[in-house]
Structure 1
Amino acid sequence: MRFRINRSRSATAYPSPERSAPTPAVHVVEPEVVEAPLSAHEQDLIRASVSVVEPFAADMTVYFYAVLFARYPEVRSLFPPGMDTQRGRLLRALLRIVELVDDPESLVRFCGHLGRDHRKFGTLSAHFPAVGECLLASLARYAGPAWTADIAAAWTKAYGAVADVMISAAEQDEAIRPAVWPATVVHRVSRGHNIVEITVRPHMPYEYAAGQYVSVETPWWPKLWRYYSPANAPREDGTLTFHVRAVAGGCVSSALVHQAAVGDVIQLGPPLGDMVLDAATYSDLLCVAGGTGLAPIRALVEEVARRGERHRVDLFLGARTGAELYGVDDMLRMAQRHHWLTIRGAVSQEYVPGIRGSLPEVLAEYGPWYQHDVYLSGPAPMVVAATETLTLRGTPPDRIHHDPFETPVLSFR
């Protein structure tokens, strides 16, 4: 069993606190060649065991955390008081790992992201054996008679490979940047419909790429993290602007919308995500945004303008009603400044002349888009529907870029 990992990086130390110009995002070099950690037979054993325990998933995750906290009470402080959301995310992480078990390069990328991101929780390499022990105990309990020595060995091998990647990624990350960045709120403006734009200035240089997303922790809900995409390309002053919509039951989003004020300090985790401009192959770009999913798309448009590259960008904005067509005025002003940017709207539940229809319907009407790189951001059903429409009409799947639907699956909400 082996993951062959390239440890090279583009930086070797924390950046200087002085900033006079935008700096490129810290670049993580993923492995060029990755050997599969499991044989085909071991992969089949892993999948078969998951199909057995999946009907008992909710109970199994409750049992897992109960056993983990009973055997290793020192890890309880790493988690928020309420565990309901975390239990579900643990299960989705396991399912994602199982899904990628025969795709070692994607598995390394996924686990590397998790390892770097988990630094902000205070996760240590010593915690991984404890988690593995309790995970296997939980799987064995709920698999019952289906749990065999061969299955246990396959899971032990798989978990060891995943833990190795996460630990290695975290150690490499620790050498070049902090785990969290304090950031002061310097501007706040309401945009209606429970949406605010919050601009923060990190206390240390924060390097990211337009299109990535960032985890945020507020002082009102310690250990609860929510992921938002900066709505701007890197700026000379180092500030980041987030578009935040308060959602029912969303502790972090409600705190940012209803409590955060200028002068408050929040915490930022490391930037994540591969929906960046450097992923583009074609000179023509199709960008599709629903709701506050406009944020990373807006950042990408700014990045095109900042680089001065010869891209033509077609941007489609979607909403249920005309009033919810968020950010359209701002984007129209950008289109007036940049002749290469075209803006179109799609309203699905209200008659608005010229922009009636769902985003997939409007995309089909204005296509084809098979010679474009596509960037999608918004509610998961919209992204799924748009992806289906585009692929059916000839857009290559590898030219369609969007963040994972569980972004990321182990995040705290």
Structure 2
Amino acid sequence: MDAQRLKASFARVAEQGDAVAMFFYADLFVRNPHLRDMFPVGMSGQRDKLLRALGHIVSRVDDLPNLLPFVQQLGRDHRRFGIVAEHYPQVGASLVATLRHFSGADWSEELAADWQAAYGLVAKVMQEAADEDALTSPAWWNGQVVGVERRRFDIAVLRVQPDRPLPYLPGQSVAVEVPARLRHWRYYSMANAPRPDNTVDFHVKLVDGGPVSTVLVRSTQTGDRIRMGAPIGTLTLDESSRRDVLLVAGSTGLAPLKAILEQLVRRPAPPRVHLFFGARDRDALYDLEDLTKLAQRHPWLTVVPAVSDESAGHGFSALLQSGGGEVEHGNLPDVVARRGPWDDHDAYVCGSPEMVGRTAERLTRLGVDRARVRLETYADAQR
């Protein structure tokens, strides 16, 4: 298998954009009509995921130690779609047919052998990971909504009771499916550390055109059912560290960081923690009241709310009396920077890609070791 030849081949094919994924799924469903019901009615999101996954695999095809965890997770994730061993050859045949079609005159027997070998390896790793996962975990968890709080028109906090214990680490996420949008799975982070009653909270923000968030925010009621996939994610607490902790959350990026905060609360001797919670305006600081109460109970916790689209009135900050405390004005990376130094902290950042990227860059420039900055964005969550 020639890794460079594979990379060059995929680069040429990927230039055709969405047409590649459209051709692949058309070929797959013509050859295997019974597979169509395993996919959502609207396929645009699915096509995007296919191209991203292929691009990720091909870009690391010559770096198997780093590629292996990604492919293993793909195998585990596909269990919730009902994928079984007999489906892999069917997918492989359509994939090779698609690559042949878009390669044109560049297609050769050698290239065909490369792609077949690469797909065979990926399929083998995925199946083995799925089989191993099936020994200890269900393909999904059924859950019942036992609490709904609509904090504002576009944000809801949902409490869900799984049908069996859901083992996860604070900071991780699960894919969620609702009956009204079958086969549309979207990732949401648990907003709490594991509880004795096994309930989990989700902070859901309405996404324009989002098929799952629209249902969860606008129409979900107590008693409704959802399905949840297996927990994933690496935005988790470094339990070996006893350094102070910096948490930076943009909007509902608060959810995994609040779970980590609850984990720290349970320590006999928690470190000093600064939690920055940012939004565009005061009304969007939807969980500030609860965070303020936490800070009042725990003297080691400092909560700093920040808004970016309001006039502060006096310099960079003002006493806006939202949630009973001082609310900073400015973009989160700027607010965090001026409240430092942070070079002796472990940092955890979650929110929009722009905010997360700028915050990580700013912290690194301020002397925080990049290895001690853990990140997740909304885009990462919809992998």
TM-score, reference length from structure 1: 0.85
Q: Which residue of 1 aligns with 2:260?
A: 300
Is the contact made by 1:283 and 1:310 (CA closer than 8 Å) also made in structure 2? no
Q: Give the counterpart letter for 2:69 in structure 1.
A: R
Of 242, 245, 248, which residue of structure 2 is paired with 1:288? Answer: 248
Of 150, 158, 162, which residue of structure 2 is paired with 1:198? Answer: 158
Of 378, 393, 397, which residue of structure 1 is paired with 2:366? Answer: 393
Deviation (angstroms), 1:385:
1.4
Q: 1:247 to 1:159 in 2, by over 3 A?
A: same
* Post-superposition CA distance 1:342-394 (Å, at most 9, x none): 11123222123341111111222223333322211111111111122222333
Distance (Å, rounded) in 1 between the aligned partners of 2:369 and 2:112: 39
Is the contact made by 1:282 and 1:371 (CA closer than 8 Å) also made in structure 2? no
Higher relative contact order (CA 8 A, sep 6+): 1
Is the contact made by 1:116 and 1:166 (CA closer than 8 Å) also made in structure 2? yes
Q: Structure 2: state its 5+ residue gaps.
A: 319-327
Q: 1:154 to 1:338 in 2, by over 3 A?
A: farther
Distance (Å, rounded) in 2 between the aligned partners of 1:282 and 1:165: 37
**1:339-378 → structure 2 map (5 Å cutoff):** 339-352=299-312, 353-354=317-318, 355-378=328-351
Q: Which residue of 2 aligns with 1:213?
A: 173
Distance (Å, rounded) in 2 between the aligned partners of 1:172 and 1:360: 42
Of 79, 82, 98, which residue of structure 2 is paired with 1:138? Answer: 98
Q: 1:92 to 1:356 in 2, by over 3 A?
A: same
Q: Structure 1: state its 5+ residue gaps.
A: 1-37
Distance (Å, rounded) in 1 between the aligned partners of 2:357 and 2:128: 33
Distance (Å, rounded) in 2 between the aligned partners of 1:160 and 1:132: 8
Distance (Å, rounded) in 2 between the aligned partners of 1:185 and 1:262: 5
Is the contact made by 1:280 and 1:399 (CA closer than 8 Å) also made in structure 2? no
Distance (Å, rounded) in 2 between the aligned partners of 1:132 and 1:280: 43
Is the contact made by 1:286 and 1:372 (CA closer than 8 Å) also made in structure 2? yes
Q: Which residue of 1 aligns with 2:381?
A: 407
Distance (Å, rounded) in 1 between the aligned partners of 2:8 and 2:36: 31
Is the contact made by 1:217 and 1:252 (CA closer than 8 Å) also made in structure 2? yes
Runs of 4 or more, structure 1, over 4 Å off, are none
Q: 1:285 to 1:234 in 2, by over 3 A?
A: same
Alignment of 1:98 onto 2:71: no
Is the contact made by 2:281 and 2:307 (CA closer than 8 Å) also made in structure 1? yes
Distance (Å, rounded) in 2 between the aligned partners of 1:311 and 1:113: 33
Distance (Å, rounded) in 2 between the aligned partners of 1:367 and 1:162: 45
* Post-superposition CA distance 1:24-48 (Å, at most 9, x none): xxxxxxxxxxxxxx6xxx2222221
| 1:402 partner SS | strand
Deviation (angstroms), 1:235:
0.4
Of 169, 175, 199, which residue of structure 2 is paired with 1:239? Answer: 199
Distance (Å, rounded) in 2 between the aligned partners of 1:194 and 1:180: 27
Deviation (angstroms), 1:273:
0.7
Alignment of 1:128 onto 2:105: no
Q: Which residue of 2 aligns with 1:8?
A: none
Distance (Å, rounded) in 2 between the aligned partners of 1:50 and 1:369: 42
TM-score, reference length from structure 2: 0.91
Is the contact made by 1:275 and 1:402 (CA closer than 8 Å) also made in structure 2? yes
Q: Which residue of 1 aligns with 2:325?
A: none
Q: Which residue of 1 aligns with 2:36?
A: 76
Is the contact made by 2:29 and 2:35 (CA closer than 8 Å) also made in structure 1? yes
| 2:381 partner SS | coil
Is the contact made by 1:370 and 1:395 (CA closer than 8 Å) also made in structure 2? yes
* Post-superposition CA distance 1:96-126 (Å, at most 9, x none): 2223334323311111222111111101121
Distance (Å, rounded) in 1 between the aligned partners of 2:228 and 2:269: 30
Deviation (angstroms), 1:129:
1.5
* Post-superposition CA distance 1:265-297 (Å, at most 9, x none): 111111111111146645222111101110100
Q: 1:145 to 1:282 in 2, by over 3 A?
A: farther
Q: 1:368 to 1:103 in 2, by over 3 A?
A: farther
Of 211, 215, 222, which residue of structure 2 is paired with 1:262? Answer: 222
Distance (Å, rounded) in 2 between the aligned partners of 1:396 and 1:126: 47
Identity of aligned residues (%): 43
Q: Give the counterpart letter for 1:268 in structure 2.
A: M
Distance (Å, rounded) in 2 between the aligned partners of 1:289 and 1:193: 20
Of 181, 187, 206, which residue of structure 1 is paired with 2:147? Answer: 187
Deviation (angstroms), 1:135:
1.2
Q: Give the counterpart letter for 1:283 in structure 2.
A: R
Alignment of 1:43 onto 2:3: yes
Is the contact made by 2:351 and 2:376 (CA closer than 8 Å) also made in structure 1? no
